Structures are given as C-alpha cells and as structure tokens.
Amino acid sequence: MEKEQKLLFFTTKKSIHYNFDLNEVKKLLAEIEKISPIKLEIIDIDAYPDKAEQYKIDALPVIIMDNKRFIGRPKVEKILLYLQLGS
C-alpha cells in the first residue's frame, strides 16, 4: 500500500479568487487520487497565521507537497507532471 501524501493548500477567504482556486485544488485532488492516496489540508492564513509562519508563506495561494512549493493559481498539469516524474 502506498503511503498517503499530504497536500497543504494555503489561501485566504478574503481573496476574490478563493472559490476558483479552491475548485482547482479539488480538481487536482481528484486527479492525484487516481494515482496515489492523498489528504488535503486547507489552511486559511488569516485563521491560522502560526501555520503560515511555520511554513514561511509569503505569497498566496501556495500548495506544498513533499516539501515542494507551487506558488500561484493551482495548475493541475504542472503538479501531476511533478508527481509522475517521481517528485
């Protein structure tokens, strides 16, 4: 059995792009789940500033997987390619 990966999604509900970005992350999650178990953690930096500081978040949105950062609007194809290339 494969180890479940964790996808951290840092965002803010104050962003006008929040719903769009969240939908993109959910699409990404559905695609990743086809190839590997994964758990999504959505972190609103306004509600959890300590988490943002812990992960040194200085831009939004940010996805972190396996210590790899994807900054900006989530791009499903780019992240899937990263996973397929073996991280």
DSSP-assigned letters across all residues of 17-68: THHHHHHHHHHHHHHHHTTS-EEEEEEETTT-HHHHHHTT--SSSEEEETTE
- CATH node for 5-84: 3.40.30.10
Q: Domain spans of the chain?
A: 5-84
Entry pTM:
0.86
Per residue in 66-84, pLDDT (tens digit) is 888 999 987 888 888 887 7
14 — alpha (psi -120 to 50), left (phi > 0) or beta? alpha
Q: Which two tokens stand for residue 44?
A: 């609103």
- Mean pLDDT of the region 59-68: 91
**Measured CA distances, 6 to 14, 45, 54 (Å):** 24, 18, 16
pLDDT at 87 over 60: no
Mean pLDDT of the chain: 89
pLDDT of residue 86: 65
